[in-house]
Structure 1
Amino acid sequence: MGSRFAGRVAIVTGGAQGIGAATAKRLASEGATVAVVDLSVEKSAALAKEISAEGGTAAGYGCDVTDEAAVHAMTEQVVADFGRLDVLINNAGITRDDLLYKMSAADWHAVLNTNLTSMFYCCQAAQKHMVAGKYGKIVNLSSRSALGNRGQVNYAAAKAGVQGLTATLSIELGPFNICVNAVAPGYVATAMTAATAERVGSSAEAHQKWASEHTPLRRVAQPEEIASVVAFLASDDASFVTGQTLYVNGGAR
């Protein structure tokens, strides 16, 4: 167990699987007390139990991050349980891919609400505790899709919005010693990208092979590789880094 986050309390949304789970494990392995937040409290509690079994400290919370009242209630509960809030990782996200002419308004709104509006709610709920403590680290998950990706007009717009949100919050919260940054992964081997493969009539393996061939490092990322960058930005090693979006995409252009 490391000690880079000793004494720190972190919230990780979408924390029960994929990049979120890898991040929760990484923070806990370095000493953080981690609130694993997911739509399913059963899944978040299961991961928290796994982290605890490995010697870390974690608890699972169920929360629909598109529900403003639920987000504020969850945040207050975490602070009540652990006495403070130092780190917020906004990772929760979904895809509802389709070409523009076929995309429904419901799919547009679902992706914007889950991938962008939820971050506004979570940041707003967290910032009052961070401002009071004169310390905070917020890391938001964007995506290479922010630069544009066929069939993802909703997702691309949301992830581009994350970068604008990040830059603006860094300006507003900087005077309170709160750093706000974003990580924009390329292709990561997760359940979400497996679903994307299925959408285009491919298998996860074949889709990863295709993505690897279009990436200079000639492979796709694993969730743990994104988590390591998130952990850096959430740590005091990045104490003078704020307002940035760091692309972690194997050199893809």
Structure 2
Amino acid sequence: MPYQSVYRSGLFAGQVIIVTGGGSGIGRCTAHELAALGAHVAIVGRQAAKLEQVKAEIAVDGGRVSSYVCDIRDDAAVIATVDAVLAAQGRIDGLVNNAGGQYFAPLKHISTHGFDAVVRNNLTGGFIFMREVYVRWMERHGGAIVNMIADMWNGLPGFAHSGSARAGTHSLTETAASEWAASGVRVNSVAPGLIASSGFDHYTGEAASRLRSFTKSIPAQRYGTVAEVSAAIVFLLSPAAAFVTGTCLRVDGGGPNARSHWTCPPHRNNAPFEGFHLDALPDLLKREE
């Protein structure tokens, strides 16, 4: 069964779109959907084996895909990757800045090195990719950029390093949207809330316990799916968002809207969108059952 996108077939035919962090989770799903809609997808990541697996999946489904091993925190590596995509495909129409990562830790226990590492991964790396894609192609030809942030509104206890980086990316998005508009470049962000993806399985102990119980504080009373995040990204890349720039599209089930005085009543009235045919429940949630 192919990807069940809500968007029309061939929407991105002839376009080339880079997806960083394309080897797993939201990036993998987004790469699949964009390829299913006709784009040539260039997936980027640090682990060749993961990229090759996703590349093979997309090829089996009839999509067009290439892969590039790259540390987004390294200027020279990013420049080489962007140049390689342009040499092979001749254009870059979109960039999905999805790569990133973090770990659970109380603020007082985060070392300076650990803080710097997460900020460089979640903010600086995205900036480098944005800059090089813009300078090397989009400044002259236009394009669309979608930056991945997070539900960091009102702070992100336990993930201060990531919350700071994601908030910085939100500001970076707004600034680039203004500075690059004259080049025909739109820049937006997507802020996922609690999304059931393979990233869940990186957490253990207290962090894992919090993840399992967190849905009680979300009005939608469930985890989101990677396909729901991908659909938001695809919209922002599409012609339907031609007048949308400098904004953030939240995909979070209303989590930031719940207040401490309000108890979210349990229900099953919010059905998930399950468009990704290869998606699977994270092991962390399987252990909960």
The code of the aligned residue for 2:27 comes to G
Within 5 Å, give how 1:25-174 maps onto structure 2. Answer: 25-128=32-135, 129-133=137-141, 135-174=142-181
> How does the TM-score come out when normalised to structure 1?
0.94
Partner of 2:91: helix, strand, or coil?
coil
Structure showing the higher helix proportion among its residues: 1
Distance in 2 between the 1:70 and 1:146 partners? 32
Give the drift of 1:201.
Answer: 5.7
Q: Is the Cα–Cα contact under 8 Å of residues 49 and 59 in structure 1 kept in the other structure? A: no
The code of the aligned residue for 1:21 comes to R
Give the drift of 1:191.
Answer: 2.8
Partner of 2:72: helix, strand, or coil?
coil
The code of the aligned residue for 1:54 comes to D
Q: Is the Cα–Cα contact under 8 Å of residues 71 and 125 in structure 1 kept in the other structure? A: yes
Q: Structure 2 stretches of 5 or more lacking a match?
A: 1-7, 257-289
What does residue 231 of structure 2 align with? 228
Residue deviations 1:188-241 (CA, integer Å, cap 9, x gap) = 112323333x141646xx833x12211111100111110010010011110110
Aligned counterpart for 1:178 among listed residues 185, 207, 213: 185
Give the drift of 1:110.
Answer: 0.9
Distance in 1 between the 2:120 and 2:189 partners? 18
The code of the aligned residue for 1:252 comes to G
RMSD: 1.4
Q: Is the Cα–Cα contact under 8 Å of residues 170 and 178 in structure 1 kept in the other structure? A: yes
Distance in 2 between the 1:146 and 1:36 partners? 29
Change (3 A) 1:175 1:207: same
What does residue 200 of structure 1 align with? 206
Q: Structure 1 stretches of 5 or more lacking a match?
A: none
What does residue 254 of structure 2 align with? 251
Between the two proteins, what is the percent identity of the paired residues? 36
Distance in 1 between the 2:154 and 2:181 partners? 26
Residue deviations 1:105-161 (CA, integer Å, cap 9, x gap) = 12101110000000110011100201121x200000000025312111101000000
Distance in 2 between the 1:131 and 1:62 partners? 25
Give the drift of 1:23.
Answer: 0.6
In the TM superposition, structure 1's runs of 4+ consecutive aligned residues that sit over 4 Å from their partners are: none
- Higher Cα Rg, which structure: 2
Give the drift of 1:68.
Answer: 0.8
**Matched residue pairs, number?**
248
> How does the TM-score come out when normalised to structure 2?
0.83
Change (3 A) 1:53 1:242: same
**Which stretch of structure 1 is more off in the superposition, 124-133 or 62-71?**
124-133
Partner of 2:158: helix, strand, or coil?
coil
